[in-house]
Amino acid sequence: MATASRRKAAPGRAGAVAALARRTARRPVAPRNPMHPGYFLETRYLKPLGITQQALADALGISRRRVNELIRGRRGITADTAVRLALFFGNEASFWMQLQTDWDLHEAAKKLKL
């Protein structure tokens, strides 16, 4: 008899879990404010590691102006830059591209809310 009780209770719990999942899925996610990938590069990599913009530019094979514009938020990370940064810092190009995508989506959402 105890087994029969458990069987009857299980569908109820499953239904409750499914209902909770549906309610949770509809809740808006709290907006987060991503930082520009250039600012991230400067504060999380260049300054802590003591790397100058010129040294990074030389190592990546790009102009110092390009690095400076990226850090100042006047330029985004392209696929080419992402690959170069990934090779230099030993991480994935997709990491750098995701930072840029997060920033772009944040900026687009801000413009639409005007």
- What is the domain-level CATH number for residue 55? 1.10.260.40
7 lies in some domain: no
* CA–CA dist 90, 3 (Å, integer): 56
72 lies in some domain: yes
71 lies in some domain: yes
pLDDT of res. 78: 98
11 lies in some domain: no
Total count of domains within the chain: 1
pTM value is 0.72
105 lies in some domain: yes
pLDDT of res. 11: 55
Give the tens place of pLDDT for each residue, 65-89. 999 999 999 999 999 999 999 999 9
52 lies in some domain: yes
Dihedral pair phi/psi, residue 76, rounded to 5°:
-100, 175
5 lies in some domain: no
102: buried, middle or exposed (CB in 10 Å: 19+, 13-18, 0-12)? middle
Closest CA to 97 of 114, 75, 81: 81
Q: Which domain holds residue 101?
A: 37-112
- As averages over each run of 10 residues, the pLDDT of the chain (114 residues) reads 51 63 53 89 98 98 99 98 98 98 95 84
89 lies in some domain: yes
